[in-house]
Structure 1
Amino acid sequence: MKAYMVFDIGGTFIKYAVMDQAAKRLVSGKFPTPKEGLEAFLQQICDIVKEYKDSYELQGIALSSPGAVDVKTGSIGGASAIPYIHGGSMTDLLRERTGFPVSIENDANCAALAEGWLGAAKNADYYICIVIGTGIGGSIVMNHTILRGAALHGGEFGYMIMGGSFQAGKDPLQSTWSQSASTNALVREVEMKKSLTQGSLDGEEVFLLSEAGDPIAQESIAHFYKGIAIGIYNLKYALDPEKILIGGGVSKRGEVIEGINRELKLLKDEISTLHIEVEACQFDNDANLIGALFHFLKAHASSGI
C-alpha cells in the first residue's frame, strides 16, 4: 500500500504522520521544533523518514510550513517563529538527503485544501477560509487550487484597512482587520477596559467571563462579532465565494459562528441583497497534515506517485 510521510512544521512542535492516499493516519507523533538551527531540523526530519521507510511503501514527503511558501522553488519567504527555515529551497534540501520527492505548502493553505478535499467545503468549487487567531489570515481556493497572488499574499485578509481608519491624526495601518477584529484584539480590548496588564487574559478566559455574566466581556465579544462580520461582508462582495469557512481555535465555539451570522443578517438590506453565512472548518489539529498530503498528491498526480 502506498504511503506518504507528512510533516506539519510549527513554532513549538513538529507533528508528523504516515498517511495513506485517503489521509488515514497509519502512524503519528510529534517532536519539539529544534532550536539549534537548520541542520538539527533537517536531521530530525530525516531520522523520522528513515524510521518508517522500511515499514511502509513511502512515496514521498509532504510539508506544511509557516511563512510565504513558494511551491515552485520550495523556498520559504516572509517571517515566522522559526527563522532558520527561511531562505533556500527546503524541498531541494530534503530531496537530496532522503531521495524522496518532496512538496511544501503554507500551513493556512494546507488547512484550506483539507476542507475542500474532505471537509466542510468538499462540495464547493470556490470558497474562502478565514483563520482567526493572533491575527487574521486565510486562503482563497478555486477548483482545489490556491489563488496565491503575484506576491504570494493572496488570502492575507488581515491586512484590510477597516472603517474609521481615516480619522484625523490616526494612522490607517493601525486599524487593519487583524488589529481590530482578531482574537488577540478581543482579548486586548477586554484587558484595556478592565485596566489589566497586557497578557493577563486569553481568548478562552474572555469567553468564560462572558458566560459568567461579565458585562465588559459580553460587550467586547459583541463588538468582536460585528468587526468580523463587516470584513466578511466586504470579502463576499469582492470575491463572491460559494462558501465562507471560519477556522482558528475560536471557531470551535458554536456561539461564535452563531454570533457572526447574526451580525451578517443585520448587514443585509434593500441594497445588499446577497445571503451571507459562514460555517466552521471541520478539521482542527489534523488539517495541516491532510492538506499537505492533498497538495503532494495533486502536485505528483501525473507521475502516479
Structure 2
Amino acid sequence: MNWEEQEMAQKILAIDIGGSAIKSGLWEKDSLTELPSFITPKTWDEMKAYLKSLVEEHQITDGVAISAPGAVNAEEGVIYGVSAVPYLHRFPIKQELTDFLGVPVTFQNDANCATLAEVWQGNAQGIEAVAFMIIGTGIGGGIAIDGKLRTGANLFGGEFGYQIINPTTLETLSDLGSPVAMAKHFSKLKAEDREYTSKEVFDLAATGDELAQEQIDQFYDALSIGIYNILVSLDPDRVLIGGGISTRADLLENLEVRVKRLLQKNGAKELKASIMPCKFLNQANLIGAVYQFLTEQA
C-alpha cells in the first residue's frame, strides 16, 4: 500500500491541545470531521482518560495525531519548554500515551502543525522555502524547507515572537504584534474602566478614533518589522500569515506597504516579498497533526 492509499484507508483521531480547550476531529478518506471541543483537563490523568474515551467511542485503531503547545521533540516523544498546560512537559509522553491508548500516537508543536497543514494541502504546496507566522495572543510560527519542518538545533525554529522589536524596552514581537496585546494597551490608554477587543479597536479606528488608529499603526509596524527580519534572515519564497486576524481584508495591504518601505529604506529593494494568508484557520493544527502522523507512520 503506497502513502496515498494508506492515507485514504486510515481513520485517525486528531487532537489539538490548547490552554483552555481541546479541539478534536476524525480524519477519514482525506477529510476532517470536527468533533465537539472540550475544556482542557486540569491533570495528566484526566487528559489521558478523556483521550481514551474518544478512542473507544470512535473505535480508533489506526492512531492518534496530537498538536500540542511547547517545544515538541517529535523524535524523542518529549515536550520541552513551557506552556499553559504544564503537565505535558519533560517526560516520555508519546510512549506513555501510546501504551495507555493501545494505538500509535504522534506529537508535534501546534504552530508547526499549522505549517505542515499549509505545506501539505494549503498555500505552501510546492513552495521551496516558507515561513509561517501565526498571530494570536502571542506570535508563533514555523519554517518549512523543501516540504519539511526546520525546527532548529534547540527546537526554536520559527519562534518569531521572540524577536526584540523595541531595543529600549526589550519588548518582543509577541508583545507588540499581537492584536490581543494591542487591545489591552489601547484599553489602558483609553482609561474607561473596560477592556476592548481588537475588533472593537479596529471598529473605533474606522469611525475616526485617533488613539485607536495610532495603536493599530503601531501594531502593523511591529508585524512589518517582524516580517522584514524574517525576509532578510531566511529569504523565503513566501511568508504565510495565520490566526484570526488574517481574515481582515486590509491586513495584507497594510503589511505589504510597510514591509516594502522597510526593504527599500534599508537597501534591500531587490528582495521581493510574497506575503499571503493561510488557507486553513481553525482546522490547521488538526490537519497538520494528521500529516505528521502519516509521515511518521509511512
State TM-score, norm by structure 2: 0.90
Unaligned 5+ runs, structure 1: none
2:66/2:289 contact within 8 Å kept:
yes
Encode CA deviations 1:55-99: one digit per residue, 9 max, x unaligned.
Answer: x6x311110001111101211122222121223222112211222
Distance in 1, Cα, partners of 2:295 & 2:183: 39
Q: Tell me which residue corresponds to 1:235.
A: 230
Contact 2:143-2:158 within 8 A present in 1 as well = yes
SS of the equivalent of 2:195 reads coil
Partner of 2:65 in structure 1?
Answer: 62
Question: Partner of 2:173 in structure 1?
Answer: 177
| Aligned equivalent of 2:155 | 152
Q: Secondary structure at the match of 2:221?
A: helix
* 1:250 is aligned to 2:245: yes
**Equivalent position of 1:203 in the other structure:** 198
Report the CA distance shift for 1:268/1:73 in structure 2 as closer, same or farther (over 3 A).
Answer: closer
Query: Which residue of 74, 91, 95 maps to 1:92?
Result: 95
CA distance, structure 2, for counterparts of residue 114 and residue 226 of structure 1: 28
CA apart distance, 1:26: 4.5
> Aligned residues: percent identity?
38
Aligned residues: 288
Q: Are the counterparts in 2 of residues 264 and 277 from structure 1 also a CA contact under 8 Å?
A: no
Name the counterpart of 2:216.
221
What residue number does 1:30 align with? 37
Deviation at 1:182, TM superposition (A): 2.0
Displacement, 1:30? Answer: 2.2
Match for 2:140 among 137, 142, 145? 137
Q: Secondary structure at the match of 1:284?
A: coil
The residue number in structure 2 matching 1:272 is 268
Match of 2:55 in 1: 49
Give the equivalent residue in structure 2 for 1:13.
Answer: 21
Native 8 Å contact 1:3 1:19 kept in 2 = yes
Inter-partner Cα distance in structure 2 for 1:150 and 1:21: 35
CA contact (8 A) 2:126 2:147 kept: no
**CA-to-partner distance for each residue in 1:134-153, whole Å, 9 max, x for gaps?**
22121111122211111111
Q: How many angstroms apart in 1 are the aligned matches of 2:72 and 2:58?
A: 27
Q: CA 1:206–1:26 in 2, change beyond 3 Å: closer, same or farther? A: closer
SS of the counterpart of 1:251?
helix
1:155–1:27 CA distance, 2 compared to 1 (3 A): closer
Q: Deviations over 1:19-68 (max 9, x none)?
A: 0252x024623222112x11111011011101112xx6x31111000111
Q: Please, what TM-score do these two structures have when normalized by structure 1? A: 0.88
Secondary structure of 1:154's counterpart equals coil
